[in-house]
């Protein structure tokens, strides 16, 4: 009898350990000798780094895709487990891609931010969380008070970003910090 597929989502704010938890899980899958594939989305056109990297410095080899449909073209027939990092950056097509993989009997685990810097639901993650067999929402530590953080604060020149700030800025001009509800601020 074929094993049923499943979906697990690891989510939370910046520096909550999402990618570290994903990499730990991937290493365990390796010990179990399961056929594994790992994907991540290219954030910018020239992003070809063939690994997922956590803020703590752990890394794991990964294929880079530009859009969700590429995963279906690249998944191998022998794949039993498939992991996706930074899933919040994928287009909404990732939802049907994941459903098709799960229906094929593949165990899918994904990591991604649940909220953007505006504290709005981020990309396809809320829908994937609703469809998941298991959701693990991690929290970081607020950089201001040390209490559990629930969101990612974007700072521009050391000050909170405004709601209408560019959604995504590449480079060092933006800084993200984990913040609790008390210390999260939106510039006016």
Q: Taking the chain (188 residues) in consecutive chunks of 10 residues, what is each chunk's mean pLDDT?
A: 87 96 92 92 74 85 94 96 96 97 97 96 97 97 96 92 82 78 91
E strands of the chain, at which residues?
6-12, 36-41, 51-53, 59-61, 63-65, 81-85, 107-113, 134-138, 140-141, 148-149, 151-156, 159-160, 174-179
Q: What is the pLDDT of residue 187?
A: 85
Q: What is the pLDDT of residue 76?
A: 96
Q: What is the pLDDT of residue 57?
A: 82
pTM for the model: 0.92
In the chain, the domains with their CATH numbers are 6-138 (3.40.50.300)
DSSP element (H, E) containing 25: helix 18-31
């Amino acid at each position: 009898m074929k094993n049923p597929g499943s979906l697990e989502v690891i989510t939370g704010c910046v520096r909550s350990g999402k990618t570290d938890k994903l990499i730990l899980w991937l290493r365990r899958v390796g010990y179990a000798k399961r056929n594994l594939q790992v994907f991540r989305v290219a954030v910018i056109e020239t992003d070809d780094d063939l690994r997922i990297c956590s803020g703590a410095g752990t890394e794991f080899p990964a294929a880079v895709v530009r859009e969700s449909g590429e995963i279906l073209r690249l998944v191998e027939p022998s794949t039993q487990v498939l992991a996706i990092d930074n899933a919040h950056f994928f287009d909404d097509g990732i939802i049907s891609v994941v459903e098709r993989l799960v229906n094929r009997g593949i165990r899918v685990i994904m990591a991604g931010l649940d909220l953007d810097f505006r504290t709005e639901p981020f990309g396809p993650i809320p829908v994937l969380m609703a469809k998941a067999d298991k959701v693990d929402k991690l929290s970081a530590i607020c950089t201001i008070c040390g209490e559990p953080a629930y969101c990612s604060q974007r700072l521009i020149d050391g000050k909170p970003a405004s709601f209408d700030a560019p959604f995504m800025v590449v480079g060092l001009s933006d800084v993200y910090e984990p913040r609790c509800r008390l210390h999260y601020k939106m510039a006016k």
